[in-house]
Amino acid sequence: MKRLLSLLVLVLAFSSCEEDVKFNNPSVQGIKDNEMWRAVDYKATLQANGGLIVTGYTNFETLILKTSNITPGTYELGAGTANSATYSFTADGTEVNYSTGVNATGQITIENYDTASGTFTGQFKFKAKKLGNAVAGDSIVTYQKGVFYHIPVTAQ
């Protein structure tokens, strides 16, 4: 009886163990307003003018990062620059949009453009102000420790 009970305990112990490994390759993610945010879909687009657009999507949110060039380096965000970050939230007929520009700051860093695999890797952080008169949403959205990793490229 003791053997049967021991065997049953072992079977239950091993059957409850599960390997639930999730790889974030590729990925667009960051800390949005002090909470983890991860896109469920993403893409990188090369613009005809030589710029890059990285887009991350969730069911209700869209994050768009734009740089004026694809050369690895840091691109400052704010007023008077072609580089920008925008965030929008749409649900139940309400749309709230945020953008870097006047009184908004941040940067996008392109770390690597792997031409062999056609992917971009980099980092981003920014504070964007709410656009328009939408009642919903905070006045500022903040992204910290943002990463886009091995995002596949398409030409525009």
Lowest mean pLDDT segment, chosen from 1-5, 28-32, 66-70: 1-5
In this prediction the pTM is 0.80
Contact, 96 vs 136, CB < 8 A? Answer: yes
Predicted pLDDT of residue 20: 45
User: Could you state, in order of their start, the residue ranges of all structural domains in the chain?
Assistant: 24-155
State residue 28's pLDDT score. 93
Stretch 86-106: mean pLDDT: 88
- At 19 the pLDDT is 47
Distance, in Å, from the CA atom of 53 to the CA atom of 23, rounded to the nearest integer, reads 23
**Model pLDDT for residues 110-153, shown as the tens digit of each residue:** 999 998 888 999 999 999 998 877 667 678 999 999 999 999 98
The per-residue pLDDT for range 34-49, each reduced to its tens digit, is: 999 999 999 999 998 8
